Amino acid sequence: MTGYFHDIAPIRFEGADSTNEFAFRHYDPDEVVMGKRMEDHLRLAVAYWHSLAYEGADPFGGRTFDRPWYGDTMEAARRKADAAFEMFAILGQPYFCFHDADVRPEGATFAESRRNLDEICDVFAAKMEQTGTKLLWGTANMFSHRRWMAGAATNPDPEVFAYAAACVKSCMDVTHRLNGENYVLWGGREGYETLLNTDLGREAEQAGRFLSKVVEYKHKIGFKGTILIEPKPQEPAKHQYDFDVATVYGFLKRFGLENEVKLNIEQGHAILAGHSFEHELALAASLDMLGSIDMNRNDYQSGWDTDQFPNNTPEIALAYYEVLRAGGFTTGGTNYDSRVRRQSLDPEDLILSHVGAIDVCARGLKAAAAMLEDGGLERARQDRYAGWDAPGGRALLDQPLDEIAAAVEAQGIDPQPRSGRQERLENWVNRFV
């Protein structure tokens, strides 16, 4: 025990009437929802970077937090690991996620950084065996250090491309060793600041070859997890190449990787791209690309990624509706890519932020399951597209244009509009949320 969390007891489920702020009111890991334990549906994970590495900085001010594990030494990294697994135990969460730079100090050389990561991997392995906590996914931070300012895979300097390949190889090795269930690639600097010095075609080819090498290495080492790309339209780059689900799918199709890679979809990134969270999830599911989710929210009055903890049950219900409708998670899960506000200084804030978010997700999951079991939305969809399931509708897709045109005239086809019934369906959703 580090003592940092003031001996907070493990969080337990106490029911909706509980007034104990250090208790779950809706998240009961053993509650059965649609034939599966709630814990197994949600597959909740704590984000190492926001919960342990974030120092409270924003674009206009520096560090506000004072955590005893801050520092650029391996001793500090081990203290951070102690605090992390103490926090995981308090929350009772089955998974965590990390970037390499979150968990080890940067070395003077790549070899030293790799050794630091391998050393902390030993620490993690021991703690995971002791506690039963598992790794949802690992990833390499290829956006913070100045070497990445013009990108990693898409960098104009081949040496940066090579360094990025070495970083991903190292982090994949550790993820594999820790039995991680996914490996994530997020291209925060894979984009451009200006077109004046950018060769779009060259950078796309570099990105495609880099991802192909990642997939090849996955198979070479026998990693059974899923490779995930996390879309985001901008920030830190002015324009990122992994803009949204549709853009990434087109990229994967172009390079023949659509059967090798799936998507890690974040609520805040969907909003930045001008979409809703459920839109990105529904589109990914329709393309068989839904892998995992980063759960958070953005401040709707801000124009940037604020990474706040989720608190909107209706929105989350619609998100989990798409997840359940697609069959639920396999290797993926719900990672809280969320951070406390820079004025939230107390250790208790780290715990209570997760408690509230977990309860909101539990409520959203149960509402989503109730909607799916009721079947109202599915019946409405079936009714709306019923004509396409009739013999004439199915045949239409195979007919040439001139035959269709002739049939319209011969049969006097004069289609009449039908109500989309949006308000009725919105009222129906409100019965559950």
CA angle 386, 387, 390 (to 5 degrees): 95
Q: Is residue 111 located within the same domain as residue 188?
A: yes
Q: Which of 354, 374, 394 is the C-terminal boundary of a domain?
A: 374
- Say whether pLDDT at 2 is over 90: no
**The overall pTM is greater than 0.95:** yes
Residues 147 and 271 in one domain: yes
Is 305 labelled a binding residue? Answer: yes
Q: Which pLDDT score, from 0 to 100, does residue 300 have?
A: 82
Report the distance separating Cα 46 and Cα 354, nearest Å: 8
Region 9-24: mean pLDDT is 98
Tokens of 385: 């597209």
With bands split at pLDDT 50, 70 and 90, how would you rate the model's confidence at 146? very high
Contact by Cβ (8 Å): 66, 51: no
Residue 6 predicted with pLDDT over 90 = no
Q: Report if residue 1 sits inside a domain.
A: no
> Does residue 294 have a known ligand-binding role?
yes
Q: Is residue 3 part of a domain?
A: no
Residue 416 has a pLDDT of 97
pLDDT digits (tens, 9 = 90+) for 376-408: 999 999 999 999 999 999 999 999 999 999 999
Q: Is 82 a catalytic residue?
A: no
**37 & 186 share domain:** yes
Within a domain: residue 4?
no
CATH number of the domain to which 64 belongs: 3.20.20.150
Structural domain count of the chain? 2
Active site residue 239: no
Task: Clarify whether residues 368 and 404 are in a common domain.
Answer: no
What the block records as the tokens of 20 is 């104990």
The catalytic position among 99, 176, 279, 354 is 99
Query: Per residue in 308-334, pLDDT tens?
Result: 999 999 999 999 999 999 999 999 999
In angstroms, rounded to a whole number, what is the distance separating the alpha carbons of residues 430 and 292?
26
HSE value, Cβ hemisphere, 13 Å, CA-based, for 397: 7
Q: Are residues 317 and 420 in the same domain?
A: no
Question: Which of 335, 356, 374 lies at the terminal end of a domain, its last residue?
Answer: 374
**Nearest Cα to 265, choosing from 286, 253, 283, 251?**
283
Give the range of the structural domain holding residue 84, as residue numbers without chain letter: 12-374
Burial of 18 (0-12, 13-18, 19+ CB in 10 A): middle
Query: The dihedral of CA 64, 89, 104, 168: what is its sign?
Result: negative
Catalytic residue among 102, 242, 244, 359: 102
